[in-house]
A and B are shown apart, each in its own frame.
Chain A
Amino acid sequence: MRWNVDVRTFREWAERKDKSPTPKLMSLDEAVKRFLRNGAVVAIGGCLYSRTPMAAVHEIIRQGFRELTIVRNLAGFETDLLLVSGCLRRLITSWCSPGYAWGMSRVLRHYVENALAEFEEWSHLGIGLRLKAAAMGVPFLPTFSMLGSSIMERLGIAEMTCPYSGEKLALVPALYPDVAIIHANRADAYGNIQIDGYTHMDKDMAQAARHVIATVEEVVDGDEIRRSAERTIIPFFCVDAVVELPFGAYPSECWGRYEADFSHIASYQQRVDERGIEGARSYVSENITGVSSFMEFLSKVGVEQLLGRVRAFRNVVA
């Protein structure tokens, strides 16, 4: 069977997982080393350039993982970086582009049109339902989306006639990632995670995955989480690693903290426009593999630039 929807195995795995409330603070280097492996299915949280866990993407590239399947509902700039670094074999998404201002990704086109990477296309809700089904612990979820389309035909999505209503429905198979990596506003040391603003698909992604690495803007005391429990969207027992990393989503945005830095993405795009794949690789070697940590990358970006994005966020919500 093409889809691994073996709910029993995934459930048994969750049953065996250590669910005791233990502190999970660690370095990003350690978290990525411990939970990723070559060929893993890795779900990346956030959406396009909102709360993309960029620090973790950098670390994956620095550690040189290969043959990854990346799951992301709307994929962007980070996918280019993973492609040109040789990490990504298969992209499961509904859409991939650096964003409205830049149109198609030249990097993605090169890799997919030359069959160097696979592009597995679902509808946006299709990706959402795959993760939601896994998060719910069921093998599929029904929807009217994708019926009659080439997406459904290419993927071989099954359909059924509803035994109650007689309606035809597409059955979207569950997707259980090996690792989900998300960037959030805050968490305590145990991994109770709070996200401000857009939640995207992060809740379901974390609930669906075997392992969850959370980078957060700030680690707070457990009492602070208990005082605002209504904002917690991922409970500690789903989470394996908590890494404190302010600006860990840069150059994408983090709600409540900073706006995306489109000038940074534009400067990357300029390299691609001028020198294609080599331009993208030069960005990686200067900003990712050529530095020892995400903090060093942020230092290169500069305090002034980062604070400018903080002010920009305040200006938008004002």
Chain B
Amino acid sequence: MLSHERNFTRSELLAVMTARMLEDGKTIFVGVGLPMLAAALAQRLHAPNITIIFEGGVIAPEIKPGMLPLSTNEVRAARKAVMLPSIDDVFFYQQRGYIDYGILGAAQIDKYGNINTSVIGDYEKPRVRLPGSGGANDIASTCSRVIVSTFHEKRRFVERVDFITSPGYLHGGNTRREAGLIFGGPYKVVTDLAIMGFDEESKAMRVEAVYRGVRIEEVLENMGFRPIIPDEVGEIEPPTDEELKILRSIDPDRVMLR
């Protein structure tokens, strides 16, 4: 996408494209930041009946524009919720099969959709100690469908993650199932350049569509591994004025649209 045609930021683009992935009537496990904005945006557009679930123990909160929570376990996150279960219970609903989508970010993601949010470099004496799993491992392990929403950058898309915090398809093929993860797995990877999925057999990442104006070379240049490029790559329309207007109204102070 040529920059002079754009009337939106990378964060806005990522939030809108993630929102479009969410199906109405489903339960969505989201964290703070862009995933939360995406879910709140989807609720105001095509998916009024999605249920937001927060890790801190919240079912069906109403996100009030301009009063966004900074964590998933504070008063603001619980606004008008129907239930405040214990944290364990939230994950038990998920393990039981009641949570349809989970949205995760990634410091590093590899070609099989494994995510690292723990350490860069050696584990005992890391070059960078990252915050850690939180609920990301649990979401990646037992949520029905995981959407990874992250910026398309070479340092993030690596051949092999330094540490598998949150399992994708592990070493590809059937290895996820063999490890005992009998359900779920990464469903889509949404970036600010493209939408990617995973090959049914090899479970390697595959480009499915690029945003209008994005060249496939641009997608590849910003990745540390080569994803599968099918013969036909779809093209996706940029954010509409309506999407952007509503998104901006949810976060008028740009707390999360940084």
Contacts and interface: CB of A to CB of B under 8 A. Distances in A.
Contacts of B165: 149-151
Interface residues of A, number: 62
B147 to A, nearest CB: 19
22 contacts: A49-B71, A50-B73, A50-B74, A50-B75, A100-B32, A105-B131, A113-B129, A124-B134, A124-B135, A128-B91, A145-B142, A148-B181, A150-B123, A150-B164, A170-B180, A198-B56, A198-B78, A200-B56, A200-B86, A259-B74, A313-B75, A317-B75
Contact of B57 (A143, A200, A313): A200
- Give the 7 A-B CB pairs with smallest separation, nearest first: A168-B180, A148-B179, A95-B134, A123-B137, A125-B91, A124-B135, A128-B88
B206 interface: no
A93 B142 CA distance: 20
Interface in B136-176: 136-138, 141-142, 163-167, 170, 175-176
A112 B84 CA distance: 34
Interface string A27-63: 0000000000000000000011110000000000000
A297 interface: no
B33 to A, nearest CB: 6
Contact of A150 (B67, B79, B118, B176): B118
A185 interface: no
A255 interface: yes
B95 interface: yes
Interface of B: 32-33, 55-57, 67, 70-71, 73-76, 78-79, 84, 86-88, 91, 95, 118, 123-138, 141-142, 163-167, 170, 175-176, 179-182, 255
A144 interface: yes
A115 B123 CA distance: 10
Contacts, number: 182
Contacts of A146: 137, 141
A194 interface: no
Interface in A119-173: 119, 121-126, 128-129, 132, 143-151, 154, 159, 167-170
A183 interface: no
Given A47-B56, A47-B73, A145-B142, A122 B88 contact: no
A54 B229 CA distance: 53
A100 to B, nearest CB: 5
Nearest to A159: B180
B32 A144 contact: no
Contact of A144 (B55, B57, B118, B180): B180
Given A123-B138, A262-B70, 9 more contacts: A50-B56, A104-B129, A115-B124, A119-B132, A144-B181, A149-B166, A168-B180, A199-B86, A259-B74
A277 interface: no
A108 B132 CA distance: 12
A96 interface: yes
Nearest to B116: A150
B219 to A, nearest CB: 27
B134 A94 contact: yes
Nearest to A118: B124
Contacts of B87: 47, 73, 124-125, 128, 200-201
A95 B91 contact: no
Interface in A169-183: 169-170
Nearest to B54: A198
B86 A203 contact: yes
B134 A253 contact: no
A201 B123 CA distance: 27
B71 A99 contact: yes
Contacts of A115: 124-125
Nearest to A46: B73
Given A123-B138, A169-B180, A255 B75 contact: yes
Given A199-B57, A201-B86, A316 B91 contact: no
A226 interface: no
A303 interface: no
B254 to A, nearest CB: 12
Contacts of A109: 128-129
A74 interface: yes
Contacts of A260: 74-75
Nearest to A233: B86
A165 to B, nearest CB: 10
A97 interface: yes
Nearest to A265: B70
Nearest to B164: A150
A143 B137 CA distance: 12
Contact of A197 (B55, B71, B84, B166): B84
